[in-house]
Chain A
Amino acid sequence: MADTHAETVLFVRDTMLPQKEPPLSTVGPLGWARGNLFSGWLNSIITIVAFLFVVNLIAHLLPWFISGTWNANSLTDCRDMMAAAGREQGGACWGVIRERWPQLMFGFYPSELYWRPVLVLVLLFVALAPILFADRTPTKMLGFTMLFPFIGAWLLWGGTIWNPITALLGFVIGYFVFTFLSRVVNAGISLFLAAIAAFVWWSVLSGYVVSGLSAIAPLAIHSVQSREFGGFLLSITIGVTAIMFSLPIGILLALGRRSDLPLVKALCVGFIEFIRGVPLITLLFVASTLLNIFLPPGTNFDIILRVMIMTTLFASAYMAEVVRGGLAALGKGQYEGADSLGLDYWQAQRLIVMPQALKISIPGIVSTFIGVFKDTTLVSIISMFDPLGLANAIRADANWNGIYWELFIFIGAVFFIFCFSMSRYSMYLERKLQTGHR
């Protein structure tokens, strides 16, 4: 029985079958459309409705967009132009953008000095290059990245060159104190003392040094007041500062939150939860009305600076939570491994933990960046002239009273370009880091 069965079972293929073309209905554009657009009658109806919607939208928007009113100088002017051209449905009045775009970009920054913010923007990209494309730029350029904040601030606000130089000197002093002390005592303490040294330099000594040096060598460029800043210049200045400083502060806060020292931990948790629990606008109210009450009588420092500080603190708290998520994703093994090699706390963090944790948190970090950049628009509420503040001002102008789509489309588009490219970049980075480590 078994034998006969085996004979019925035996099968050997002598010639292998070649690949055949799939049935036509499943491949090619037709197959794709059948699979993705018209699978089943419900899907087909939905596709048709969606298609009609898109066509309808484009049919309405396109003529509106290309209305040919680029040269209009006011809303009535623009309406006259369209009436003359026989356009019944009306259209966009892009004249407002042509007339106001320098303002939307630079606010009230003196127009003969526009080259300075533009140069800063270019330098910003140069400074970012070693961070964004770390594998394709020489590491030496990081030196320039370090210098950029000082150069950028000097170019934007102008004034004597000794200001940024003494500010930079503070860091140099701090650095030397740190390297010197860290040979003697623990890194944490030397960092603390270095910070104190730098602080003393900035708050006490640098003022005299600057006035002394300016008297000897008056190297200065035309200085620009903070209230002259506006438009995207203001948003980007505040945004970039907050982004730049929130990452390191956020990392420290995250480490503090995971610290074994209950007091440090409690302080960090309190700070983070407080900042995350209140809306940014209340912090901006603090910046605009309360900060002067908290500081010694007579101090009255720049409103942009105050807003920058508050935005940075705000961003740091969110950043801390993102970094904490990354830290939590690392196993205990990594810490134990570092300990077993005899690395001290700061070395372990710098060499082992942070590189991994930050890599995991890239999406979160970038979306915090995007959030901060979008949130800079809130300064319009405390009467600063960021693009939205300017839009309100322009809409209140007699010439352009009643215009809104054009302005908001323009502003929205600029924000969209910035934010969207940031999020795409983070995806690119994520992919690159993933494949780089397999």
Chain B
Amino acid sequence: MTTFTDPPAESFKLSMLVYDTRYRSITFQILALVAVLLLFGWLTMNTAQNLNDLGKEPSFGFLGESAGYDINQRLIDYSSQSTHLRAAFVGLLNTLLVAAMGCATATVIGVIVGVLRLSGNWLVARLMTVYVEIFRNVPVLMWIVLCMAILIEAMPAPSAFRGDNPDATMKLFDTIAITNRGVYIPEPLFSRSLGNLHIGTAFDISINLLAILFVLGVSLWIARDITRRANAKQEATGLRPRTWHTRLAVIVLPTAILLAFLGFHLGYPELKGFNFAGGTYMRNSLIALWLALSLYTAAFIAEIVRAGILAISTGQTEAAAALGLRGNRIMSLVVLPQAMRVIIPPLISQYLNLTKNSSLAIAVGYMDITGTLMGITLNQTGRELETVLLGMLVYLTISLIISGVMNWYNNRVKLVER
């Protein structure tokens, strides 16, 4: 027999649903659930009714139909006979292309500007502050449209490059042509092709490219191994061998040899008739979007970098200096590892913002996923619901992947505190 008795069985009262902590939370949640279900039910009913009235059954069949429109800037084969799905995919690749280019340049500019804002040189610091304030206080859409306007209105027409005494000349030793129709840059060409790899019937990938990537990957791996060995040597003897030249050679040489074997050369743009031919053609829309997104995001990144460096107290630098460490070692061993923890999370969310802002491509006619799927495909098929939802889903996936990476990083570098 136990000495404890069960608590006296209470009779259940209705008021306990609200006042008893045991039931209270369940009551509220059920209320909330009911409210949400009602809302969703109502929305779905309306949608079904409306679509029925319009005679549009929700279906994604249109994705398999031929698109019937052209996309002028693309990374993979596409023609107007291709399907809407492929058009969307071309758009997605274009989104990723401009996002990747933008993130890279924004980071470079942002880091430089952020560091210079902390420079001891008053004039330089002030100039950088002006840059940051101007760019982040004006809408990004205006920067995009402005860049586009400058490219179209202020750049010379291809015809200006003609004649014996042309009004415009190509830049950088005659390799780059900047015109009001777009920018022509040298294109990489191979005189020897290893053929193409077919993935299903949809995509072809050049084996040349794969080979280069493979060799580069192996080189990088070897280079890392060299660093590891240098670390081991330092641990054993205290002396760190100089490795940067061997590392550089390991990374550059094999790739260079492979490129030479494949007959790598650059195809330069050339004036043919009324326009340029040859070279890689980057449309104005891509350039404008890329420039504007990079400059705009760089202003935010500069602030992040600056805050990150300022977050490391002077005590840290002083302690390192008092131990006899030199400037660049203080930076690489003490300041940067700590600053990175502060910088990387907001930096990644700037990348996310840049990717989302790339949807403004539609304002300058760059065919990203918004321009293809939620633009022309929507207009041609009249499938607003399906296209917009699908587009949102794509962006949502990209965002979730990026924030997943961020969470992983945050957990990895969390400072141990008690």
Q: Which residues of A contact B (CB under 8 A)?
A: 35-37, 39, 43, 46-47, 50-51, 53-54, 185-186, 188-189, 192, 260-264, 267, 273-274, 276-282, 285-286, 289-290, 292-297, 370, 374-375, 377-378, 380-381, 388, 391-392, 395, 402, 404, 408, 411-412, 415-416, 419-420, 423
Contact = CB atoms under 8 A, between A and B. Distances in A.
B310 interface: no
A416 B29 contact: no
Given A54-B127, A264-B29, A282-B388, A292 B149 contact: no
Given A293-B51, A404-B149, A412-B138, A279 B385 contact: no
20 contacts: A35-B120, A43-B121, A54-B123, A261-B28, A267-B32, A279-B360, A282-B359, A285-B384, A293-B46, A297-B53, A377-B142, A380-B141, A381-B363, A402-B153, A404-B150, A412-B138, A415-B137, A416-B137, A420-B137, A423-B137
Interface stretch (B70-78, B235-243, B258-266, B395-403): B395-403
A13 B18 CA distance: 79
A264 B32 CA distance: 7
Contacts of A293: 46-47, 50-51, 384-385
B245 to A, nearest CB: 26
Contacts of B359: 279, 281-282
Nearest to A281: B359
Contacts of A416: 133-134, 137-138
Contacts of A37: 121-123
Contacts of B19: 186
A276 B398 CA distance: 12
B67 to A, nearest CB: 19
- Describe A's contact surface by its main secondary structure: helix
A292 B139 CA distance: 29
Contacts, number: 153
Interface string B378-405: 1000001100100110011001100000
Contacts of A282: 359, 370, 374, 388, 391-392, 395
B308 to A, nearest CB: 16
Interface residues of B, number: 54
Contacts of B385: 290, 293
Given A47-B121, A290-B388, A388 B145 contact: yes
A381 B384 contact: no
A421 B385 CA distance: 40
Interface string B339-378: 0000000000000000011011011000000100010001
B36 interface: yes
A279 B357 contact: yes
B124 interface: yes
A267 B391 CA distance: 22
B49 interface: yes
Given A43-B121, A263-B32, A294 B46 contact: yes
B189 interface: no
B241 to A, nearest CB: 30
Interface in B109-157: 120-124, 127, 133-134, 136-142, 145-146, 149-150, 153
B43 interface: yes
B209 interface: no
B25 interface: yes
Contacts of B210: none
B36 A292 contact: no
A374 B140 contact: yes
